[in-house]
Structure 1
Amino acid sequence: MPPDTNLGSFLKKLRTPETRLNTRRAPVSPSPRAPHAVVIGAGFGGLAAAIRLLVRGYRVTVIDRLDQAGGRARVFRQDGFVFDAGPTLITAPFLFEELWTLAGRRMADDVTFVPIDPFYRIRFHDGSQFDYTGDRARMRSEIARFSPRDVEGWEKFLEHSERIYRVGFEELAHAPFSSPLDMARVVPDMVRLENWRTVIGLVSKYIEDEKMRQVFSFHPLLVGGNPYSTSSIYTLIAFLEREFGVWFAMGGTGEVVRGMVSLITELGGTVRLGAQVDEILVDDGRARGVRLRDGEVVRADVVVSNADSAWTYRHLVRPEHRRTWSDFRLDKLTRYSMSLFVWYFGTNKKYDDVAHHTIVLGPRYRELLEDIFDKKVLADDFSLYLHRPTCTDASMAPEGHDCFYVLSPVPHLESGIEWTPRKVEQYRRAIAQSLGESILPGLEEHVVSSRVLTPQGFLDDYLSVHGAAFGIEPVLHQSAYFRPHNESEDIRGLYLVGAGTHPGAGMPGVLSSARVLDTVVPDPERLDASVKRA
């Protein structure tokens, strides 16, 4: 049975004392004299921030350099296929529903979420498969097929995951980390919950079988982290999925983007596409607006950047205005996530036995992750995530066809790998051969539509430093207070949302980063009169 999606129960669980959230507020169009907020970037974080600021009474302009909203969640329409460019796993639908409620609307009128079962099908290199679901009895049975002795250990692991979730998500994901005291307050909980362990370290405490350790440790890769170096706080994802399920938006993730843009315009906001911000204007230590590439200046009382956080500081803010995120810190001291090679393809054949989400594990696990994250070399083997939305929604491909994308974690551009057309095609063919020999028989002869996204594309299209697919790597010393703050450390009136700030990547993370703004951005009427600009 799908999880309960009653909004009231979700909000009751998520509300924290620090969050100024009033779901009963009647949204109205902002006054023409209300303070103006400029949001840089129309990804999920930027769109969510715009909705929240509009509801609170700000005038809002969202500016994005691409020709469509969504950022990494944009859509490619090609040859009758609908390819979601990036995120497709919806694990916290209540965070979206909350935005519609704040705007006085019903999300169900614009977007339909349906549960995915199984959440993932994990295929091991020897051909054996594990169906990962939210059903406790089925999971016990699946684990028992591989390692009966680990069934009890998995139960204990899930209990530990829940304890981490109660603190890491319910209490901390929506709270700002603006001072060392904010960090100091959570240290006892982190010690008690063993967050000093890595993800694989905590999983291995409870689970012995190597295959089962892989099943319950891969989640950090979905947010740009290495299970062997990412803090065990990310094991909260296991309970998050167990509690609320994994969902898909009918029509694709692009339908969620479309719905959010509709909310913004109906609330009186503006979304400008095809306009690139070149500089965040700073005067006397305060953000005063942005300058576009064509020279136009857009004045603002508040600036919110949903651009890559490292790009924001390195390229949009002049060095004299920032001390904390200096060029040296960003270039020499900051670790960035891995990147991705993504192949979008459509086939004139349906592969009905392939699940919606499939994790195809290669012959190596730890060694491959070392190649990607540490050695930064392009290995001959790979592990893959295969997305088949037509398993759930046939409308995303022509009749009788299937729609896919497959992504392979690869090193970011600091590796020195040059993604030339020849290199791209070689790597694509290797992936196609691997899939054709395993779960998609005869693949190459059935491909009728194809496009790719490489680490260079993450830099060129999304301005992600080093082409890192998830921005700053989510290791412990780059988390919470040690991540770029939601409220800029150096510039008053500048705020950050998205994967590169707290709490991190993934749809729940970027939506939660926008929710933090309810705490750190003053209500319009509380802005100092000297700050306001008509």
Structure 2
Amino acid sequence: MTDQVDVVVIGAGHNGMAAAGYLAREGKKVLVVERMAKVGGMTSSGYMIPEAPNHLVTPCAVELLFARKSGIIEDFELAKFGLKTVDPDPTYAYLHPDGSSIALFYDYHRTAEDIARINRNDGKAYLEFMKTLNVMMDIGFPMMMAEPGRPDMKNLSKIIGSAVRNVRLKDELVALSKATADQVACERFEHPATIALLLGIAAGAGPVDDDGNAAAYMIFAVTHKYGTGKPIGSLQSFSDALARSIEASGATIQLNAPVAEIIVDDGAAKGVRLEDGRVIRAKMVIATCDPRTAMRLTTPGGVDRALMQRIEHAPSNRSNAAPFLANIAMSGPLSLKKHQDLRHDDADLNKAVGLIGTPEEVRDSFATARRGDIPDRHAMSLSPLSNSDPTQAPPGGSLAYVYLPAMAVDAREGWSPALKDKTMSSVISHLGEYYDGLDAEVGRFVETAREREKRLNVTNGCVTHIDFGALRSGVHRPATGFGGPKPPFPGFLIGGAGAHPGGGVSGIAGRIAANRALRELKKMK
């Protein structure tokens, strides 16, 4: 059986659905094929703990963040299609071992005041730092939104305008974009708690000692201005709303439809063959899955060997450090032991993401991961999801989403059930120094990078598909020849986290892929 469409999109993650939605709104016949039984990809959730069937597990992303600014929510009228969010304020809170805390409020002046209670100089420094980060956001977000190699005048004018208005910060911005996150934190701040707050946030974007990683501090500016946006009912409700919206626009989504081959004939992509034998012919193929996976699906010998090798050598968790995720289901409430009681204000830290880990523990987490070892103490965050959204746990129960940004992809002794249990015992013991309620655990979902690789078909379990870095950005993401306006080979485009601007929930990569596909389709008329 053979079907014919204008565009076939591989992957019903949020970028794939965004690409399909933008194309459908332009009147194109679009089919999204998804290997799993539901939409969402890394923005999906489910009831995945047999012992706790009413606790809603989120195995990847939990926040919208960049989607609050990218326009995807408004473009697809997601509120109309069921999306509702909750926005705790403060959004994050660093929890110091001595019981003190630093809260990340919408109002960064309040955060500066919070920091000043611990260190007056750091409080003043944070205000100055935010001036720089706000400019970085004003320049950086239009750069994220712009198509690499073909910037539009709207975003280009924003970039130029902000750069001109803030020319006095030029050297500071350049230095920030080239530095390590650790370097910048230590240059600007004195107290370990303030440094730990910065490193705890930056660690989510990659190793804090990588050159250029300090650009991750733009997250502070975005969070202060737009909040994080946690969907009621988990990220799955966001994905479901997006699916309903694009289907209303005319796009079709087919689940349980793994791709066996991206058909390449005479050097051009012509469609896909599914594992069930069905063939979908298409003028364009947009792959929003892992780029390495996509290229391996192409017809053997159909794509230039140099392009194949270029993607094969693109880094995915090259440092051997990757996120380690756990969802812990409890039969009772979850609350902080002492940090809430020691607050000087009415800030509710029991709804904020708790950042745990001293500067030394953050650094050590990446160092031990590179060696393949498991640390005794951990750098991590705990999102008390059910405290702000009770729908994610049964009445009286609670759910904790635990994120460790740096754990070995390949452990020295190999990841076994025994090592996972030992690691989780260490994690829960550490968390127990900060939170009450973990002893009421009824079940857990834990996923190593290798398990994520198998479940989601992403190389080395890399949540951004391709590592971030100055050499893997813009037209060079995922690799030179793949990220520019021209398809790497006729009829084929990359449109997921492996493309510009990278990981995170924004839908920008999908929008860029859709615009490129529209131009290519126009040439075919």
Superposition TM-score tier, normalisation by shorter sequence: 0.7 to 0.9
| Equivalent residue letter for 2:34 | D
- 1:507 CA displacement: 1.0
CA contact (8 A) 2:55 2:393 kept: yes
Percent identity between matched residues is 21
Change (3 A) 1:193 1:99: same
Aligned counterparts of 1:332 and 1:39: Cα–Cα separation in 2: 22
Structure 1 245/219 Cα, relative in aligned 2: closer, same or farther at 3 Å? same
CA contact (8 A) 1:483 1:500 kept: yes
CA contact (8 A) 1:455 1:468 kept: yes
The equivalent of 1:92 in structure 2 is 66
Match of 1:310 in 2: 292
Does the C-alpha gap of structure 1 residues 412 and 276 become closer, same or farther in structure 2, counting only changes over 3 Å? farther
Give the aligned partner of residue 123 of structure 1.
95
Residue in structure 1 matched with residue 229 of structure 2 by the alignment: 247
More deviation, 452-461/291-300: 291-300
Distance 1:477 1:370, change over 3 A: farther
Match of 1:217, SS state, is: helix
Give the aligned partner of residue 347 of structure 2.
none
Structure 2 residue aligned with 1:6? none
CA distance in 2, matches of 1:326, 1:454: 28
Q: 1:226 to 1:312 in 2, by over 3 A?
A: farther
Shift of 1:266: 1.4
Q: 1:373-416 deviations in whole A, cap 9, x for unaligned? A: x4343222211121211111112111111112212234453555
Correspondence for 2:325? 342
| Alignment partners' CA distance in 2, 1:296 and 1:190 | 56
Aligned mate of 1:271, from 220, 228, 253: 253
Return 5+ residue gaps in structure 1 as ranges: 1-32, 180-184, 530-534
Does the CA contact (< 8 Å) of 1:83 and 1:404 recur in 2? no
Rounded Cα–Cα distance in structure 2 between residues aligned with 1:151 and 1:317: 58
Q: Which residue of 2 aligns with 1:450?
A: 444
Give the residue type in structure 2 aligned to 1:453: E
Paired letter, 1:367: D
CA distance in 2, matches of 1:172, 1:367: 31
User: Separation in 2 of the partners of 1:477 and 1:274?
Assistant: 36
- Where does residue 160 of structure 1 map in the other structure? 132
How far apart are residue 310 of structure 1 and its match? 2.6
Equivalences for 1:259-338 in 2 at 5 Å?
Answer: 259-316=241-298, 318=300, 320-323=302-305, 325-327=307-309, 330-331=312-313, 336=318, 338=321
Distance (whole Å) between structure 2 residues aligned to residue 120 and residue 478 of structure 1: 29
Q: Secondary structure at the residue paired with 1:326? A: helix
Instruction: Give the counterpart letter for 2:23 in structure 1.
Output: L
**Structure 2: distance between partners of 1:350 and 1:478:** 43
Say yes or no: does 1:404 pair with 2:400. Answer: yes
How many pairs align? Answer: 487
Aligned residue in 2 for 1:221: 203
SS of residue in 1 equivalent to 2:431: helix
Structure 1 Cα separation of the partners of residues 513 and 420 of structure 2: 40
User: C-alpha root-mean-square deviation of aligned residues, in Å?
Assistant: 3.1
- Identify if the C-alpha distance between structure 1 residues 271 and 333 changes in structure 2 by more than 3 Å, giving closer, same or farther: closer
Rate the CA distance shift 1:480–1:217 in 2: closer, same or farther, 3 A. Answer: farther
1:472 is aligned to 2:454 = no
For structure 2, the 5+ residue unaligned runs are 152-158, 337-349
Change (3 A) 1:488 1:293: farther
Q: Over residues 57-79 of structure 1, what are the superposed CA-to-partner deviations in whole Å (9 max), with x where a residue is unaligned?
A: 21111111111111122212252
Q: Are the structure 2 counterparts of residues 489 and 522 from structure 1 closer, same or farther at C-alpha, using a change threshold of 3 Å?
A: closer
Q: Does 1:428 align with 2:402?
A: no
User: Does 1:390 find its partner at 2:364?
Assistant: no
Q: 1:483-509 CA deviation, whole Å, 9 max, x = no partner?
A: 22445753122122222211111113x
Contact 2:81 2:245 in 1 (8 A): no
In the alignment, residue 520 of structure 1 is paired with which amino acid?
R
User: Structure 1 residues 492, 317: closer, same or farther in 2, change over 3 A?
Assistant: same
TM-score (norm 2): 0.84
Contact 1:164 1:235 in 2 (8 A): no
Q: Does the CA-based 8 Å contact 1:225-1:473 persist in structure 2?
A: no
Partner letter of residue 85 of structure 1? Answer: P
